[in-house]
Amino acid sequence: MKHRSAIAATGHKFRTKNISKRVQKIVISPIKEMSILADLFQEKTGADIISFGQGIPYFDTPSLIKKGIKKALEQLDTAKYTLEPGITELRELITKDLGKRKRIENIEAKKEIMINTGCQETVACALASTIDEGNEVLLFSPSFASHIEQTIQFGGVPKFVPLIEESGWRINFQKLKSQTSKKTKVILFSNPSNPTGSVFTEKEVRQLADFAKKYDLIIITDETYDFLLYDDVKHFSPASLPDVRDRVILCSSFSKRYALTGYRVGFAFADQGIIDHMLKVHDALTICAPAISQKAAISALKSDQSSVEEFVRKLSFNRELMCQKLDELKDFFEYQKPMGAYYILVKYKFPKINSFDLALKILYEARVITIPGGAFGPTGNGHLRFSFACSPQEIEEGFKRLFKWATTFPIP
Amino acid sequence: MKHRSAIAATGHKFRTKNISKRVQKIVISPIKEMSILADLFQEKTGADIISFGQGIPYFDTPSLIKKGIKKALEQLDTAKYTLEPGITELRELITKDLGKRKRIENIEAKKEIMINTGCQETVACALASTIDEGNEVLLFSPSFASHIEQTIQFGGVPKFVPLIEESGWRINFQKLKSQTSKKTKVILFSNPSNPTGSVFTEKEVRQLADFAKKYDLIIITDETYDFLLYDDVKHFSPASLPDVRDRVILCSSFSKRYALTGYRVGFAFADQGIIDHMLKVHDALTICAPAISQKAAISALKSDQSSVEEFVRKLSFNRELMCQKLDELKDFFEYQKPMGAYYILVKYKFPKINSFDLALKILYEARVITIPGGAFGPTGNGHLRFSFACSPQEIEEGFKRLFKWATTFPIP
């Protein structure tokens, strides 16, 4: 346990009496554990803390979307549960958006799209609908921390497929094959990747699709960061391949694209036969996505998209800034430059310290939140995840602190 | 399956390939199935439909709360994830409210309260934290439909304890004992009860608490309707008993009390050792409750509470109205008068028709949504649930249709 939880690493003891074995095996994703620990530290000491932790855009929801929310407040139906699969207009807008941006054709909005309470819940519904106790789930290592916890929560066994760091976190298809067995039901990944910032090529995605077909697997693809790409790299979705469309569950969110992380609204696109079942889980988990958030998403998709372009420009700037800062600290850190999303999974050169202890040390000593790489699977050990979604000023200040702190840390 | 699903009763075929066995066993709660089927029927035929189905207050969110939401929109942090366990101010306000309304003392807001994405998610987190595959969960019959599905979703086995209808849906403690085994881990119920509208007495609750202690069970109590009581009946929470406080998970919501069903915000109060684990599940399901909804809840708890009194007055009126209408149809229906919540579980006298087929017939022929009693466990068979949270005009119109329809239905 110690190596998967920052809270456990602080020495916190967990109750075991009357607690399910299943939940004893999971942890709060260390992405949020670090925020919780920082909040407690702040309360205790009054320290001001810079966060390179949880990936939250520093800018506000665009004013056009807020205008839509205010208008929604005047409508009686905003107070009320929506239809469980989501507001029909939103499902139709998503259908159009997927057609336009991913060239996915002939989607039946009312049968193949469902709205969730954030993409986290979308993935939860997808896993619950496709795995039983003891089934195996292929996860890349590093993998999004919550994908690991969700897999275990629903009774699955994570089978890690190490990515090749040196070539920019690429897929090792031989390892993929060797980790696959008769118990394997699902391959689950985020692309662009959280936490590595890598973007799988069309060739890689096509190979994954062929692989899934050959071994009769469901592909769960989390495409939350599909709009956030750098240096002209292209995103390619397996859901656009007719050949595997009935085995792909595309999960996505409005959180990052429209600065709506607080609103909890995401969606799934999948074969009707799969959506039928995901809706049952959705009902058992949250009934429906928040009405006001669905209306925010409607407003977002109907608005002029220049705010998205502006976000990408701002985050591109931050990417360059953080890479430059990391270069200045090359005695302590090395990294693969991210091609999408807003994370860098940094390899550290501090010896003999695991990533959980290091992240806690940096929080308490430098007052900077970073995420222990061990949270993202075995290949994440020896790394810290940095988010550059914070403001440029925070990047400047955070690295000032890190520089001061690192130069006092004994390097052999 | 047919007897637990209205959608299956229409002849819909579910995909089985690549679908988990666990999710194949559950259904969308027929409460929402009926809304989905009504939406499809309306789309196809243009029929206007009256809903006595899903329990949604007909009035809007009070204007003071909406004012709070508008103010929240101007704050940058509304765009962002909150701390995963919820906004501290909200947890403190809930602590005060529980002290005041339920006389629960010495709650540590930051350790014993967590905010969820609606009470549905609270119960999901509670069950996931306390049951493993094959564990048994005591549920009253009738029981809230989703409690059954959530139990099965998390690998549990529902053990139904029939309530005594004739005496107003009271607990049969002998049956409770006979349904308990070494595999029993949890007793889960709503009080005031959805779907029966009964309110357990203090004596019954104390007996349940003693029972839970004796058999080392966790009590999950859903107290969403605790504010909505009729004829001076009192609500009593097992969480107020120091003796069992470490084995009670109190789940509740702001949805009904403040007409916020669309906002998806609820909470849990439990021993820190349990909350520690529930937070892990919460993280894996929805990360955090919507920020804007948490702020709506803050605004609700800080506002003058006269809107709640007004809601209770309005719903009391509806209760009398619906009972009167049912009395006029006593050849077809009989019922126990509800003492809390806004549901009546009506026993029907139409012969040889199960509740799913009957609810579909009433939807398609009378254009009125009711909920098949079979959704609430075996004792619900032969019943329909009526919600009186709709407007008085809708009650009038719905019963006009029911009267016309029922008198054409062949009664022997």
* Tokens describing residue B239: 């969480």
Residues B50 and B107 in one domain: no
Look at A128 and B293 and tell me if their CB atoms are within 8 Å. no
| Residues facing residue A346 across a β-bridge | A384
Distance from CA of A366 to the nearest CA of B (A): 21
DSSP string, B297-309: HHHHHHS-THHHH
Look at A32 and B84 and tell me if their CB atoms are within 8 Å. yes
User: At A412, is the pLDDT very low, low, confident or very high (cuts 50, 70, 90)?
Assistant: very low
DSSP for residue B16? -
Q: Indicate the residue of A73, A129, A290 with minimum beta-carbon distance to B290.
A: A290
User: At A411, is the pLDDT very low, low, confident or very high (cuts 50, 70, 90)?
Assistant: low
% helix, strand, coil for chain A, step of 5: 50, 15, 35
Look at B73 and A70 and tell me if their CB atoms are within 8 Å. yes
Structural domain range at position B29: 2-60+307-406
CB of B151 within 8 Å of any CB in chain A? no
pTM score of the predicted model:
0.97
Cα–Cα distance for residue pair A207/A109, rounded to 1 Å = 28
Q: Counting beta carbons within 10 angstroms of the beta carbon of residue A400, is it exposed (0 to 12), middle (13 to 18) or buried (19 or more)?
A: middle
List, for residues B315-359, the tens digit of each pLDDT value.
999 999 999 999 999 999 999 999 999 999 999 999 889 999 999
User: CA nearest B285 in A: which residue?
Assistant: A121
3-class SS of residue A5: coil
Residues B31 and B158 in one domain: no
Q: Which positions 295-354 of A are in contact with B (Cβ < 8 Å)?
A: none
CA atoms within 13 A on the CB side of B256: 28
In a domain? residue B311:
yes
**The pLDDT of residue A82:** 96
3-class SS of residue B381: coil
**The pLDDT of residue B135:** 98
Residues A174 and A101 in one domain: yes
Q: Which residues touch A179 (CB under 8 Å, ≥6 apart)?
A: A138, A159, A160, A161
Which of A22, A92, A119, A217 is most worth mutating to test chain B (most B CB atoms within 10 A of its CB)?
A22
Residues B148 and B248 in one domain: yes
Q: Taking a C-beta distance cutoff of 8 angstroms, is the pair B277, A13 a contact? A: no
Q: Taking a C-beta distance cutoff of 8 angstroms, is the pair A277, B24 a contact? A: yes
Q: Taking a C-beta distance cutoff of 8 angstroms, is the pair A77, B259 a contact? A: no
Chain A CB contacts of B276 under 8 Å are: 12, 14-15
Residues A78 and A39 in one domain: no
Chain A CB contacts of B220 under 8 Å are: none
Residue B142's CATH number: 3.40.640.10
In a domain? residue A186:
yes
Domain boundary among B273, B302, B331: B302
3-class SS of residue A157: strand
Q: Which residue has the tokens 């909150």?
A: B82
Residues B223 and B348 in one domain: no
Distance from CA of A129 to the nearest CA of B (A): 5
Look at B131 and A20 and tell me if their CB atoms are within 8 Å. yes
CB of B214 within 8 Å of any CB in chain A? no
State the count of interchain CB pairs (< 8 A) between A and B: 262
Cα–Cα distance for residue pair B339/A318, rounded to 1 Å = 59
List, for residues A336-392, the tens digit of each pLDDT value.
999 999 999 999 999 889 999 999 999 999 999 999 999 999 999 999 999 999 999
Cα–Cα distance for residue pair A156/A322, rounded to 1 Å = 36
Distance from CA of A289 to the nearest CA of B (A): 7
Q: Indicate the residue of B57, B80, B276 with minimum beta-carbon distance to A262.
A: B80
**The pLDDT of residue B412:** 46
Cα–Cα distance for residue pair B167/B336, rounded to 1 Å = 8
Question: What length does chain B have?
Answer: 412
Cα–Cα distance for residue pair B49/B357, rounded to 1 Å = 18
In a domain? residue A411:
no
Residues B203 and B311 in one domain: no
Cα–Cα distance for residue pair B290/B369, rounded to 1 Å = 30
In a domain? residue B411:
no
Residues A98 and A23 in one domain: no
Look at A15 and B120 and tell me if their CB atoms are within 8 Å. no
Q: Which positions 217-276 of B are in contact with A (Cβ < 8 Å)?
A: 218, 247, 259-264, 271-274, 276
Q: Based on C-alpha coordinates, what's the Rg of chain B? A: 21
Residues A78 and A15 in one domain: no
**The pLDDT of residue A152:** 97
Q: Taking a C-beta distance cutoff of 8 angstroms, is the pair B368, B398 a contact? A: yes
Residues B298 and B319 in one domain: no
Name the nearest CA neighbour of A390 among A322, A325, A305, A332: A322
Cα–Cα distance for residue pair B237/B251, rounded to 1 Å = 11
Q: Indicate the residue of B21, B70, B117 with minimum beta-carbon distance to A73.
A: B70
Residues B290 and B313 in one domain: no
CB of B8 within 8 Å of any CB in chain A? no
Cα–Cα distance for residue pair A392/B1, rounded to 1 Å = 56
Give just the sign of the alpha carbon dihedral B177, B178, B180, B182. Answer: positive
User: At A284, is the pLDDT very low, low, confident or very high (cuts 50, 70, 90)?
Assistant: very high
In a domain? residue B412:
no
3-class SS of residue A50: strand
Distance from CA of A32 to the nearest CA of B (A): 7
% helix, strand, coil for chain B, step of 5: 50, 15, 35
Q: Which residues touch A35 (CB under 8 Å, ≥6 apart)?
A: A51, A53, A54, A369, B83, B84
Cα–Cα distance for residue pair A16/A12, rounded to 1 Å = 13
CB of B15 within 8 Å of any CB in chain A? yes
Residue B388's CATH number: 3.90.1150.10
**The pLDDT of residue B408:** 83
User: CA nearest B21 in A: which residue?
Assistant: A132
Residues B287 and B392 in one domain: no
Chain A CB contacts of B120 under 8 Å are: 284-287
Tell me the three-class secondary structure of A369-410, residue by residue.
ECEEHHHHCHHHCCEEEEECCCCHHHHHHHHHHHHHHHCCCC
DSSP for residue B229? B
Chain B CB contacts of A149 under 8 Å are: 280, 283-284
List, for residues A78-122, the tens digit of each pLDDT value.
999 999 999 999 999 999 999 999 999 999 999 999 999 999 999
Which residue ranges of chain B lie beneath pLDDT 70? 1-3, 409-412
- Does residue A1 surpass a pLDDT of 60? no
In a domain? residue A385:
yes
* Tokens describing residue A161: 């497929």
Chain A CB contacts of B146 under 8 Å are: 283-284, 287
Q: What H or E segment, with its residue span, contains residue B243?
A: none
* Total number of domains constituting chain A: 2
Look at B284 and A120 and tell me if their CB atoms are within 8 Å. yes
Name the nearest CA neighbour of A81 among B110, B94, B253, B276: B253
Look at A288 and B81 and tell me if their CB atoms are within 8 Å. no
The mean per-residue pLDDT over the stretch A64-82 comes to: 95
Q: Indicate the residue of B117, B273, B279 with minimum beta-carbon distance to A15.
A: B273
DSSP string, A79-126: GSPPPTT--HHHHHHHHHHHHHHH------HHHHEEEESSHHHHHHHH
Q: Taking a C-beta distance cutoff of 8 angstroms, is the pair A319, A108 a contact? A: no
Q: Taking a C-beta distance cutoff of 8 angstroms, is the pair B217, B211 a contact? A: yes
Looking only at the bridges linking them, the beta strands covering B157-162 and B343-348 are unpaired
Q: Taking a C-beta distance cutoff of 8 angstroms, is the pair A247, A217 a contact? A: yes
Distance from CA of residue B243 to its chain's centroid? Answer: 26
**The pLDDT of residue B73:** 95
Rounded to 5 degrees, φ, ψ at A267 are: -155, 165
Look at B84 and A28 and tell me if their CB atoms are within 8 Å. yes
Give just the sign of the alpha carbon dihedral A295, A301, A304, A305. Answer: positive
Q: Indicate the residue of B82, B117, B283 with minimum beta-carbon distance to A146.
A: B283
List, for residues A178-236, the tens digit of each pLDDT value.
999 999 999 999 999 999 999 999 999 999 999 999 999 999 999 999 999 999 999 99
| Residues facing residue B248 across a β-bridge | B219
In a domain? residue A412:
no
Domain boundary among A302, A335, A369: A302
This model of the complex carries an ipTM of 0.97
Domain boundary among A302, A336, A352: A302
User: CA nearest B12 in A: which residue?
Assistant: A276
Cα–Cα distance for residue pair A378/A360, rounded to 1 Å = 19
- Does residue A123 surpass a pLDDT of 70? yes
CB of A51 within 8 Å of any CB in chain B? no
Distance from CA of A28 to the nearest CA of B (A): 4
Cα–Cα distance for residue pair B92/B98, rounded to 1 Å = 10
DSSP string, A268-313: EE--HHHHHHHHHHHHHHHSS--HHHHHHHHHHHHS-THHHHHHHH
CB of A21 within 8 Å of any CB in chain B? yes
Q: Where are the beta strands (DSSP E) in B157-314?
A: 157-162, 184-190, 218-222, 248-253, 266-269
Cα–Cα distance for residue pair A189/A138, rounded to 1 Å = 8
